[in-house]
Amino acid sequence: MFILLSISVAVNYFDKGTFHCYYIFMLRGLFAGIKDLIYPNCCLACKNKIGPAKEQVLICGQCWNGIERNLPPFCVSCGRRLDRTGTTKNICSNCLKTRFYFDRAFSPCIYTGTIKQLIHEFKYSGKDYLGEPFGKLMNEFIKDYRLPIEYLDFIIPVPLHRSRMREREFNQAQVLSEQVAKEFNKKVLSDVLVRNRPTRTQTELTPEQRRKNVERSFTVKDTRAVKDANLLLIDDVLTTGVTSSEAAKTLKDSGAKIIFVMTLAN
C-alpha cells in the first residue's frame, strides 16, 4: 500500500522522465532492503552478521584487525619472522639447509587464522574482489619496511596451468600483482612465465614431494623480456618456498638477475 501511494505521489509531482528515474531508484532501494532481510551481510571470516557494506568486501573490523602480521626480525631468505635462536644468524633453521633460487622473500601476514580463511575464500570461492584489501596489506608492507621496489624492473605473477585457470576463472597471483603494480607504477609481465604442465595441489604433500611436483613445471616464453632484469615474483602464500624457487630458477636460467618474491602470507 505504501509503495502504491508513493508511486501515485510521484506521478502527480514529477514529469514522465523524472518519474522514471524516481521509480527505478525506489525499486533498487526496495530490492536492496529485501536482499538485506533475506540474505544479511555476513563477515567472510567469522560469518557473523555485519551492517550494510559500503564496499563489496565483507570483512568485519574485528576480523580485519585480528589478521596476524609478520613482524621483524625477518629471515634474510624466506622472510619469516625469526625466533630467538635464529636472530644471531639472520636466517631461519629451514633456510640454512635449503637452497632457494630467489634472492629474498617477503610477506606481510602469517598464514593462520583469519588471513588463511580469507585466502581460501579468495582462491576457491571466486572472491577476486578480495584482491584490493589484500593488495593494500602488501603495499603497506613494502612502504613500511622500505623494500627496494624502485630497483625492480617488472612484476611477474606465478602462473596457473590453463586447466587450473579454467577451474578458478582467475589467477590470484595476477590479481595481487596488479594491485602492487598500480601502487608503484610497475609493469606486470603476465604471459612471460607459463606453467607448462598441471601439478598437484601442494597442501598435503611433504617438502620432498612438493619439490618434485613443481620441478621443471615452468617455462619462459620470451627470454628477451627478462634478460638482465630485476624482478618481483608474486604469489598468494609461501609455504615451503619450492614453487617460488622453481619459478625463480626458470627465470634466472633465462637471464634474469635479482628476483625478490612477495606473497600475502607465509
80 and 19 housed in the same domain: no
pLDDT tens digits for range 73-97: 999 999 999 987 655 678 998 898 8
Q: Which of 261, 265, 238, 266 is nearest to 137 (CA)?
A: 265
33 and 81 housed in the same domain: no
Nearest-angstrom CA–CA distance, 36 and 40: 4
In a domain, 212, yes or no: yes
In which domain, by residue range, is 15 found? 2-38
Average pLDDT over all residues of the chain: 84
- What pLDDT shows up at residue 56? 53
31 and 79 housed in the same domain: no
246 and 116 housed in the same domain: yes
In a domain, 21, yes or no: yes
Number of separate domains in the chain: 2
- What pLDDT shows up at residue 208? 72
Q: What residue type is assigned to position 51 of the chain? A: G
Residue 39 φ then ψ, to 5°:
-120, 80
- What pLDDT shows up at residue 33? 45
98 and 156 housed in the same domain: yes
In a domain, 43, yes or no: no
Helix (H, G, I), strand (E, B), or coil: what is residue 157? strand
Q: pTM of the prediction?
A: 0.80
The grid coordinates of residue 49 equal 552478521
Q: Which of 27, 25, 24, 19 is nearest to 3 (CA)?
A: 27
pLDDT tens digits for range 29-44: 444 444 444 456 788 8
- What pLDDT shows up at residue 143? 97
20 and 133 housed in the same domain: no
32 and 138 housed in the same domain: no
CATH of the domain at 168: 3.40.50.2020
Q: Which of 179, 130, 129, 184 is nearest to 157 (CA)?
A: 179
In a domain, 148, yes or no: yes
Averaging pLDDT over each range in 7-16, 24-33, 235-244, which range is the top one?
235-244
Nearest-angstrom CA–CA distance, 163 and 172: 15
User: Which residue has better confidence, 230 or 66?
Assistant: 230
32 and 136 housed in the same domain: no
* Cα atoms in the 13 Å half-sphere on the side-chain side of 62: 8
